[in-house]
Amino acid sequence: MFVAFLAQLGPPTKSLVYTLKQLLDELPFETRHNTKWKFLAWTGRDVRVAVDDDFRDNLQSAIDLYRSSRKEALQSLYTSRALSAASNSQHGGKSASFTGQKSKPTGSPAKPSIDRAGGASEEIIADIEEVSACCGHFSFALLDFAEDMLSYLRRLEELKEAIQHRKRTWTWLFSWFLPADEHESKDTATIRRRGDFNNHDEAYDAGQGIPSHIKQADNFADPARRDRSWNARLYRLLCVFRRDDIKFAVKVGLGALIYALPAFLAATRPFFVRWRGEWGLVSYMAVCSMTVGGSNTTSTNRVIGTFIGAALSIVAWVLASDHGYTNPWLLGFFGWLVSLGCFYLIVAKNNGPMGRFILLTYNLGALYSYSLSIKDDDHDDDEGGIDPAIWDIVMHRLVAVIAGCVWAIVVTRFIWPISARRKLKKGLCVLWLRMGLIWRRDPLAMFLLGEPRSNYMDIREESALRSFLSNLEGLRKAANGEFELRGPFPDQTMGRILERSGRMLDAFHAMNVVIVKNLQYTPGEAAVLRYTRSERFELSARISHLFSVLASSVKMEYPLNDVMPSIDHTRDRLLARISEFRRSGEGREVATEQDYELLYAYVLVTGQLSEDIRAVSAELQTMFGTLDEEKLKLQ
């Protein structure tokens, strides 16, 4: 089936892809090399929009050919699909095309023959419908991209017209006082699915067919402020002091105050000045990080980089100076060599702190000594004056840096310590719970229920989840620098878990793109969504439950159960329901192929989530495969 579909749609697809490639190679701008007035280059007149009059016509012709061929290919696919399903139902087994896609346990107990026949028939229909979903979704994705490209060409033509017939106006001076455009209003940014389709039975049907847990999902949102008690209001008011960034600011400021205190006392000020305590304070501020692991990593790079920079500055100064006279050219050449090595570490090896600290220490040693030898106005008699004592200078800086790093580790470790390991574990649990809440309500429920009351259940918040996942990646690097008696941090395992979580968010993004593509649903979409409502709600509840199980396992550091709920059977029932709607469902006459786009994306996204959840479960089994008896004591 799939090979026949590709063979029929292949030539139009190649034509459309080639046309798109040619357009993308030419667009959007090209520079005119024969500009007459060079002083007008800032106005943009030396750049023209590279849009030809034939671009849109060629693309439109390729889209029309692809659309008609796609319709014929899908029709042939559905015809061959029906024949394949009938043939396999008669033989009571799967076709060779789908053998081995879904393996069953060999030791499962025997079931009645009627159950085996019904289950096999449902699996056959589900497999065939999944092939249809793949063909329909990805072929429509290319068509959707081509149509967006056509809209892009229209915008470029408008821009070209505006550049060629430029009009001067002074309205930009009053842009703050002009009302916002209608297309920028908030109403168009929200999805108002319910009520867009005029169907008198829609409200009654939606209320009768939706389970209670879907209706009650919006109650997860915070209650109104007036409904809270006074102690709850006070607790939420003081939550700012529980934030990690507030704790971090307070403890770093307190540590800097204590470290700088000797500079303000007459008895300790000479010692502080002699040993360059200000550089220790700078090192302390540079090393302090939000987490303990971040401070450990930065302090290690700081100390090692300081040692290397100090050694390089001593070598450069010894070779370039002779009893107070310094060759600036030779010293500059050494500085160039050091900068090459440092920028190699920063750019090529992605070790920015190490490269920066080496270069900084080299400058504080060699270049500072050169400035003293030229003009001594810093009263540095303890460091040689016009004949700088490079060994004393380097020693003072080295001791100050080490003292600042040690003090930073003490502050971050013993004053409100923030462990990157615990923060990563908590953040991963919150991420999965947020993803589970989105599926608790069902992403497609907004078609019938409208927008969720809380952003926690809105799939359009997946960009915020993606940003949060990037923060978790940073915490993983910091956690790798924390040392605990329990053992090393499982960096590779956690990296694979975060990678799988990123793939889950990619699936969320694919679902979100399809949802926000069209702000109004059609009668065909409403019919197919109503017909598959119960199966979708059951599948979304299963996915939400699995996300909760994963979060609980990480939170409790407890291994998963041997038998996890499966998504595959529930997904098969949804696919079989879609196939049933095509044959005998109410409203199938008004449903076009484009109306199945939402469900096709839904089916493929749930399949991707099922695979990723199984992979994460296996990683958690590896991480928490052995029970910790200390956590099970009754005390």
Residue 286 or 586, more confident? 286
Residue 481 in contact with residue 353, Cβ under 8 Å?
A: no
Clarify whether residues 395 and 493 are in a common domain: no
Query: Residue 252 sits in which domain range?
Result: 243-414
> Of how many residues is the chain composed?
635
Helix (H) and strand (E) counts for the chain? 23, 4
Distances from the Cα of 189 to the Cα of 183, 186, 205, 363, 437, angstroms: 9, 5, 27, 53, 22
| Spatial distance between the Cα atoms of 601 and 133, rounded to a whole number of angstroms | 8
Question: What tokens does 562 get?
Answer: 């041997």
pLDDT at 260: 94
- Residue 554: how many other CB atoms lie within 10 Å: 20
Q: Tens digit of pLDDT for each residue in 121-180?
A: 667 777 777 888 888 888 888 888 898 888 888 888 888 888 777 777 776 666 665 555
pLDDT at 227: 66
Q: What is the DSSP string of 88-151?
A: HHHHTS--GGGTTSS---TTPPP--HHHHHHHHHHHHHHHHHHHHHHHHHHHHHHHHHHHHHHH
| Spatial distance between the Cα atoms of 130 and 578, rounded to a whole number of angstroms | 10
Percent of the chain with pLDDT over 90: 21
Which of 358, 387, 414 is the C-terminal boundary of a domain? Answer: 414
Q: What is the DSSP string of 202-266?
A: HHHHHHHHS-HHHHGGGGGSPPPGGGS-HHHHHHHHGGGGGSHHHHHHHHHHHHHHHHHGGGGST
Clarify whether residues 258 and 291 are in a common domain: yes
Residue 480 or 45, more confident? 480
Q: Tens digit of pLDDT for each residue in 84-123?
A: 555 455 444 444 343 334 444 434 344 344 344 455 566 7
Identify whether 295 is part of a domain: yes
| pLDDT(224) > 80 | no
| pLDDT(19) > 70 | yes
Q: Tens digit of pLDDT for each residue in 241-277?
A: 888 889 999 999 999 999 999 999 999 999 998 888 9
128, burial (CB in 10 Å: exposed 0-12, middle 13-18, buried 19+): buried
Mean pLDDT of the chain: 77
Please report which confidence band the pLDDT of residue 581 belongs to, taking 50, 70 and 90 as the band edges: confident
Percent of the chain with pLDDT over 70: 74
Clarify whether residues 277 and 382 are in a common domain: yes
pLDDT at 499: 94
Residue 349 or 171, more confident? 349
CATH of the domain at 538: 1.20.58
Distances from the Cα of 531 to the Cα of 81, 109, 550, 572, angstroms: 21, 33, 31, 15
Clarify whether residues 396 and 253 are in a common domain: yes
Place of tokens 């993803």: 435
Which of 394, 414, 434 is the C-terminal boundary of a domain? Answer: 414
Clarify whether residues 328 and 402 are in a common domain: yes
pLDDT at 623: 85
The model's pTM is: 0.74
Clarify whether residues 271 and 393 are in a common domain: yes
Place of tokens 């060079």: 38
Residue 29 pairs with which residues in a beta bridge?
49
Clarify whether residues 525 and 582 are in a common domain: yes
Clarify whether residues 333 and 451 are in a common domain: no
Distances from the Cα of 136 to the Cα of 127, 132, 312, 428, 597, angstroms: 14, 6, 64, 35, 7
Residue 489, φ and ψ in degrees, nearest 5: -75, 130
Identify whether 522 is part of a domain: yes
Range with the largest mean pLDDT of 547-551, 554-558, 563-567: 547-551
Which of 139, 159, 179 is the C-terminal boundary of a domain? Answer: 159
Identify whether 221 is part of a domain: no
Residue 553 or 178, more confident? 553
400, burial (CB in 10 Å: exposed 0-12, middle 13-18, buried 19+): buried
Residue 604 in contact with residue 531, Cβ under 8 Å?
A: no
* Burial call 331-343: b when 16+ CB within 10 Å, e when fewer: beebbeebeeebe
List, in sequence order, every beta strand (DSSP E) within 53-97.
Answer: none
Q: In a 3-state reduction of DSSP, which class is residue 321?
A: strand
Identify whether 73 is part of a domain: yes
Residue 325 pairs with which residues in a beta bridge?
322
Residues with Cβ within 8 Å of 85's Cβ and at least 6 positions away in sequence, in order, are: 124, 125, 128, 579
Identify whether 218 is part of a domain: no
| Spatial distance between the Cα atoms of 59 and 143, rounded to a whole number of angstroms | 11
| pLDDT(611) > 60 | yes
Residue 123 or 568, more confident? 568
Our count of domains for the chain comes to: 3
| Spatial distance between the Cα atoms of 614 and 219, rounded to a whole number of angstroms | 30
